[in-house]
Amino acid sequence: MKKYDVIAFDLDGTLTDPEQGLVDGFIYAFKKMGVTDYGDRASLRRFIGPSLYVVWQDEFGFNETTVVEAIEKFREYYNIYGWWDNKVYSGIVEMLSALKVAGKTLVLATSKPEGTAIKIMKLFGLDKYFDFMGGAAGDNRDHKWQVLEYSLKAVSADPSKAILVGDRIYDAEGAAKCGIDSLGVRWGHGSSDELESCGFTYLAETPEQVVDLLK
């Protein structure tokens, strides 16, 4: 296996499990927008990870104006109540600590708005392991590949020595677009079928296995 100097991490579904707060926020936004055919709570996990700006237009027929309104409604709830209704997956702190001890440069690359992502990282004390924390910033940096490119540039990463760790197809696609390898984790929100078919370079069952593969 190749040696990687820079390891980029997704946030939702990779480092933390945000399901409760996010799903509550989705439902709040749908009710405010008059959307009734969004499915049950379990099905709403499909919106954890991708850009809401993209997937909500595709799924609910929002236009460029109404999707922004829907996301604003979501944030009315999430920015006050939802962001802290979250938990760190077991083994994550030990994984990050081991990778830092091994001399790796760690960066965050999440489609969550950057300010909110940094608040979550600080809430759980994960920020101390990271050399840079990058997130979404509206139209100029909303897709996964745009955030990843931004975070890698911030640490002057050599793409041949960088890898992204994530849990959804959007992570695999974003890494491929940026010309880097990717590692899919099975404890997040991506199904086995999604993880095995979307092009991840490697797959890991546990945080401990991530360390074994990347240290």
Residues acting as catalytic residues:
10
In total, the chain counts a number of residues equal to: 215
What does the buried/exposed string (b/e) look like for 112-150 if buried means 16 or more CB atoms within 10 Å of the residue's CB? bbbebbbebbeeeebeebbebbbbbeeeebbbbbbbbbb
CA-wise closest residue to 116 among 79, 64, 169: 79
Burial environment of residue 54 by CB neighbours within 10 A (0 to 12, 13 to 18, 19 or more): middle
Q: Specify the pairing of strand 16-17 against strand 87-88.
A: antiparallel
d(CA 16, CA 22): 12
Q: Determine the Cα–Cα distance for residues 203 and 213; give it in Å rounded to an integer.
A: 10
Element (H, E) at 197: helix 192-197
Residue 80 DSSP class: I
Q: What is d(CA 204, CA 4) in angstroms, rounded to the nearest whole number? A: 16
